[in-house]
Amino acid sequence: MFSSGTTSSLAALLLLAATTCFAQAPKAKGGAEEDPYASMPPKRAALERMLTERGTPETFEATVKKAREQGIVDQAILEARFLYHVDRREDDKIAAMLPEFLKRKDEFKLEQSEIFAVKEDWLAVVEYVQALADLRKNDRDGFKKHITEAFWLSPRQASAFAPHIDRLRMEEAMSTVKIDSSLKLSSQLAKDPVELGTLMRDHKALLLHFWSPTSHESEESMPDFKVTATELEKHKVAVASILVESNPEVMKDAKIILKDLGDKPPGAWLLDSEKDSLQRLLRVQNLPTVVLVSPEGSILFNGHPSEDELWEALSKLAPDVKRPAIDEH
């Protein structure tokens, strides 16, 4: 989703996907309100509720309180809190847990752990938390040191570490990129090519939206994109959708998608250039991807449209811009 701030469950990225020892929450029988842990001993039920809770912070803290009352040890509570923030992709809150992780680094007892199979997995997470804390301080050398150690300690958790490394490398690469405002791209909706500089004229920034009908997510997110683009244009942020493929079959499918958006889909709808490809310049590998460009051509954001960092960057340019609420249905 473009605007709803969808948080991907870290089924693929969750650090502990291969090491989690606790059972999956049993399905309730006879209705949604039935407690799936009711048949368990009280202590185990409190532990399971805490480990699997992904609701509001208040709801989670309530499960922590009940777990403490049942005698759940601090190690398990720390692990549950870590899982909660990882699954919600709250890197800042994970980084803020560093003092507690460092305090417990040498006191770790495997028999008190609910999610780690071996001590190396625990130590890898400590290194991971240190890496996030360094990244938060813009200490890139510290980040590289600790994330490398995390890889060494627990290679099977690499799928969780990799996105942070990719993000850092992307930021480093984009720091030297400048978008040529004189670049002209063919239009999907008009006869004449469109110069990027004309789109940015009298605007605070330009959002480039890379997409293709061959990408299922690109197609599914188009209604959200329409809402988002309309909101951004109200706040003087220009929007240009860049179709990254131009073969006849793709062009045909793209026209159908554009038709579904109405007579006047928001923003400009352009075709990437083969010679001066923006997709190559901006290292676009996944679709959809959005890139926020300043009037001077600098890259302010490059990533997935659901990332909070996009809206943080937009709010600095247009404080009144609001992330649109999307009807999931």
pLDDT one-digit tens code per residue, 199-242: 999 999 999 999 999 999 999 999 999 999 999 999 999 999 99
Q: Are 54 and 84 in contact (CB under 8 A)?
A: yes
Which pLDDT band, with edges at 50, 70 and 90, does 171 fall under?
A: confident
Which pLDDT band, with edges at 50, 70 and 90, does 326 fall under?
A: low
When comparing pLDDT for 194 and 162, which is higher? 194
Q: 181, 177, 183, 188: which is closest to 267 by C-alpha?
A: 188
Q: Quote the DSSP letter at residue 104.
A: H
Percentage of the chain modeled with pLDDT above 70: 88
Query: Considering Cα of 280, then 281, then 284, then 290, what sign does the dihedral take?
Result: negative
Mean pLDDT of 86-101: 90
pLDDT of 163 higher than 90: no
Q: What does the block give as tokens for 220?
A: 């599914």
Model's pTM, two decimal places?
A: 0.67
pLDDT confidence of residue 254? 94
Mean pLDDT of 287-291: 96
Residue type, 62: A
Neighbours of 28 (CB within 10 A): 13
Question: For 326, how many CA atoms within 13 A lie in the half-sphere containing its CB?
Answer: 21
Which pLDDT band, with edges at 50, 70 and 90, does 33 fall under?
A: low
Q: Measured between alpha carbons, how far is 66 from 99 in angstroms, rounded to an integer? A: 24
Domain ranges in the chain are 42-170, 184-317
Mean pLDDT of 31-35: 59
pLDDT confidence of residue 323? 87
pLDDT confidence of residue 327? 54
pLDDT of 263 higher than 90: no
Q: Are 293 and 197 in contact (CB under 8 A)?
A: no
Q: What is the dihedral of CA 189, 193, 196, 200, to 10 degrees?
A: -60
Which pLDDT band, with edges at 50, 70 and 90, does 18 fall under?
A: very low
The CATH number of the domain covering residues in 184-317? 3.40.30.10
Q: Quote the DSSP letter at residue 244.
A: -
Provide the H-helix boundaries in the chain.
42-52, 57-69, 74-87, 91-95, 98-104, 119-136, 140-153, 158-174, 196-200, 216-220, 222-234, 248-260, 278-281, 308-317
Per-residue model confidence as pLDDT tens digits over 34-62: 678 888 899 999 999 999 998 899 999 99
pLDDT of 26 higher than 80: no
